[in-house]
């Protein structure tokens, strides 16, 4: 019997190409416990190589063959080669954050991971000048969505600095080992799997018909796929990647949101809109129409400390970023209205129709990523701006404090820039991932983001 990959997970396998790998890299930076020496990292690394308690989701390997009818299915790796998955690395001198971010970019741009084993890798990185170390974990998007990647990344850490039973993200924590379910039997046969695919497609088509009858007015008021202008961010990409990141106090965004009657998410999106406008003005490439962002939404809750699950349960709504506006408050109001309309629409429809809408938005994005198809006249949207919730408390790995936490997400054909935000403790970190040939000097966007927040603060006071 064959256990097929769910359609929402399989799509990340189907659209992957040599220049558009569909993996994510998560960067976590830690400060070793006071007084610890080299043996501390040696011990952590040894514990990361133990295959005994590797989580079931990290044992899955996607494959397809004649026996699966050309569909992707899951195989279970009962004896993972941990040395192939987990390795150590040392940054070149002088060991600044700059060298670390360049390393993340190289890891991200090293091409698709092999499908001969489960598609995840990790690097324990030392050599930072200030004595800290980093864990860089690369995960294929077919395994987990962004929210559940985040949950896995912190599942083995502890809020207690003196805890000594912490584990790497792919290891089941000791406190959860009595909850592990037996490995599932290899699901359905090919005929049953095909029936499920066609049944799901029929349900989605039916929900689109319902949507057309029940919410036409709402649909007219919201952003729709392929209404975004073409931009430099929507070109073909190569394999090289650059990563840049910076964090800002959440309190600063919260103050602006409170003064303007908006939300922290609205403020972060308005920051992105302003930064993109400034970047495009510098490059004399600003479209007359506003850029539109695809904003992923979780269909299974967003609590960062909820139990992690496997697979993808995500869709996307579209947000007008107000890049055609010069005034920061007007831009924030545009973003707020766009997101409020999305929330109102989602609140008034059933879950299946919600899935249909968000899948429709995603479909245009995925269609543009298929390497064999010509470039679309207009993109479904211009870029992804994702906001992944995090924990507001400090976390530790056997006494090592996690000081920084950054995401580096998917870049592919038609989507040469990705912006992902991730909150941790009292800061919100912004990770920028880009093809450097299409989006040169990516780090300039960090300067523009900082200026955008300052401008919003000044304007909201006035």
For the segment 158-190, what is each residue's pLDDT rounded down to a tens digit? 999 999 999 999 999 998 888 665 554 444 444
Q: Is 7-179's fold the same as 210-391+408-461's?
A: yes
User: The tokens of 338 are what?
Assistant: 């766009």
Chain centroid to CA 135: how far? 17
Residue 199 pLDDT grade (very low, low, confident, very high; cuts 50, 70, 90): very low
Work out the percent of the chain whose per-residue pLDDT is above 90.
Answer: 73
Judge whether residue 345 has pLDDT over 80. Answer: no
Q: What is the DSSP letter of 182?
A: P
Task: Transcribe 374-430 into DSSP letters.
Answer: PPPSS-S-SEEEEEE---SS--EETTEEEEEEEEE---BTTB-EEEEEEEETTEEEE
For the segment 127-151, what is each residue's pLDDT rounded down to a tens digit? 999 999 999 999 999 999 999 999 9
pLDDT at 201: 46
Q: Coil, helix or strand for 368? A: helix
pLDDT at 203: 45
Tell me the pTM: 0.90
For the segment 412-461, what is each residue's pLDDT rounded down to a tens digit? 999 999 999 999 999 999 999 999 999 999 999 999 999 999 999 999 99
For the segment 232-279, what is each residue's pLDDT rounded down to a tens digit? 999 999 999 999 999 999 999 999 999 999 999 999 999 999 999 999
CATH architecture assignment, domain 210-391+408-461: 2-Layer Sandwich (3.30)
Residue with tokens 């850490």: 157
Q: Are 409 and 386 in contact (CB under 8 A)?
A: yes
The closest alpha carbon to 459, from 233, 296, 267, belongs to 267
Catalytically annotated residues: 141
For the segment 347-404, what is each residue's pLDDT rounded down to a tens digit? 766 666 666 666 666 666 666 666 666 767 788 899 999 999 889 999 999 999 999 9
Q: Are 25 and 107 in contact (CB under 8 A)?
A: yes
CATH topology of domain 7-179: Chloramphenicol Acetyltransferase (3.30.559)
The closest alpha carbon to 429, from 157, 247, 180, belongs to 247
Q: Are 26 and 153 in contact (CB under 8 A)?
A: yes
pLDDT at 389: 87
Judge whether residue 208 has pLDDT over 50. Answer: no
pLDDT at 207: 45
Which residues sit opposite 88 in a β-bridge?
124
Residue ranges covered by each domain of the chain: 7-179, 210-391+408-461
Q: Coil, helix or strand for 29? A: strand
């Amino acid at each position: 019997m064959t256990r097929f990959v769910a359609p929402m997970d399989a799509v990340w396998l189907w659209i992957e190409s040599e220049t558009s790998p569909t993996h994510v890299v998560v960067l976590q930076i830690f400060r070793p416990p006071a007084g610890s020496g080299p043996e501390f990292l040696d011990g952590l690394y040894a514990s990361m190589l133990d295959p005994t308690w590797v989580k079931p989701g990290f044992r899955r390997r996607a494959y397809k063959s004649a026996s699966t009818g050309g569909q992707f299915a899951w195989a279970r790796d009962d004896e993972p080669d941990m040395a192939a998955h987990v390795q150590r690395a040392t940054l070149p001198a002088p060991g600044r954050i700059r060298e670390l971010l360049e390393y993340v970019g190289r890891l991200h741009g090293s091409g698709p991971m092999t499908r001969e084993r489960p598609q995840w890798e990790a690097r324990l990185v030392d050599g930072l000048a200030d004595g800290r170390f980093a864990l860089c974990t690369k995960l294929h998007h077919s395994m987990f969505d962004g929210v559940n990647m985040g949950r896995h990344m912190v599942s083995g850490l502890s809020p207690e600095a003196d805890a000594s039973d912490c584990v790497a993200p792919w290891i089941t924590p000791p406190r959860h080992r009595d909850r592990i379910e037996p490995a599932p039997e290899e699901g359905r046969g090919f005929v049953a799997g095909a029936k499920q695919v066609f049944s799901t497609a029929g349900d989605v088509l039916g929900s689109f018909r319902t949507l057309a009858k029940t919410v036409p007015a709402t649909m007219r008021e919201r952003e729709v796929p392929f209404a975004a202008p073409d931009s430099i961010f929507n070109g073909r990409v190569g394999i090289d990647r650059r990563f840049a990141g910076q964090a800002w106090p959440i309190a600063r965004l919260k103050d602006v949101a409170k003064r303007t009657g908006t939300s922290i998410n609205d403020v972060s999106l308005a920051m992105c809109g302003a930064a993109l406008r400034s970047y495009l003005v510098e490059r004399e490439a600003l479209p007359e129409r506003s850029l539109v962002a695809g904003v992923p939404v979780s269909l299974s809750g967003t609590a960062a400390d909820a139990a992690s699950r496997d697979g993808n349960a995500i869709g996307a709504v579209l947000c007008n970023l107000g890049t055609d506006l010069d005034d920061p408050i007007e831009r924030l109001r545009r973003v707020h209205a766009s997101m409020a309309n999305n929330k109102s629409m989602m609140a008034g429809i059933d879950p299946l129709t919600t899935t249909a809408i968000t899948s429709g938005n995603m479909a245009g994005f995925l269609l543009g990523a298929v390497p064999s198809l010509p470039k679309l006249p207009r993109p479904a949207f211009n870029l992804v701006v994702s906001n992944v919730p995090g924990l507001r408390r400090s976390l530790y790995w056997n006494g090592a404090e996690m000081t920084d936490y950054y995401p580096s997400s998917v870049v592919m054909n038609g989507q040469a820039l990705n912006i992902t935000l991730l909150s941790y403790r009292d800061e919100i970190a912004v990770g920028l991932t880009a093809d450097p040939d299409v989006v040169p000097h990516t780090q300039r966007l960090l300067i523009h983001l900082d200026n955008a927040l300052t401008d919003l603060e000044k304007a909201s006071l006035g």
